[in-house]
Amino acid sequence: MMLTPKQRLIFALDVVSVNEVRQWVRLLKGYVGIFKVGKELFTACGPKAVDIIHSAGSEVFLDLKFHDIPNTVAKAGVAAAGLGVKMFNVHTLGGLKMMEAVREAVDKTCGKGKRPIILGVTILTSMDEKAIKQVGIQGPVKRRVLHLASLAKKAGLDGVVASPLEVKDIKKKLGKGFITVTPGIRMSDSKPDDQSRTMTPKEAISAGADYIVVGRPIREAKDPVAAANKILEEVR
């Protein structure tokens, strides 16, 4: 299925109050296909944030990176599916059995083909070669990402969250139908902030990314709508 530029754009809704959620969704729902609810917002507001986004007619990416024993993650995945989100993620470092457990549980609950997109988080885009070595993972990063992405596909997940730098290789190895969601998106004139592996929106889509996650380049812009529009123009 061909995605429109709006459908490809995920806005990282990194705020801490329902009022802010309402304000940002009202402002950007005409330009953003999916709003990402992460740990900060979900911890502060819980499922209410998801309800607000759905009430505005928009989709949700629940970005909680579930990582626990298989039974716990399976139950968390079923709960996420019950919220009606378009996609949610688990951490691939939880292992094959954990990923299989959540996929099987959600398939059983929702019915195969009717469940949310389940993604596996590979290596965080804030981590470089030095950072992964510090936690005992031997590089290079790209090789580790490809290994974890392959494990996610083996478990029956729909795709992965990875930096745009790895997308081309993921698509080549695992197929064009294997979904890639890419954070680490920065405009050519943006600060990298705490991201280490980045690309511009145009570069990421050209590499094969299905969805791009953008937060601060829109949220911190003087004119967020203009910033979102600029991204949409870039990925057409």
Whether 154 is a known active-site residue: answer no
Nearest residue to 98 (alpha-carbon basis) of 123, 73, 64, 124: 73
The DSSP annotation for 163-223 comes to -GGGHHHHHHHH-TTSEEEE--B--TTS--TT-SS-B-HHHHHHHT-SEEEE-HHHHTSSS
**CA-CA distances (angstroms) from residue 2 to 8, 85, 112, 211, 236?**
10, 20, 21, 12, 12
Per-residue burial over 187-197, b if 16 or more Cβ lie within 10 Å, else e, is beebeeeebbb
Q: How far apart are CA 102 and CA 86, in angstroms?
A: 16
Active-site residue identified among 65, 97, 173, 222: 65
CA angle 227, 14, 189 (to 5 degrees): 35
Question: Which residues are known to be catalytic?
Answer: 65
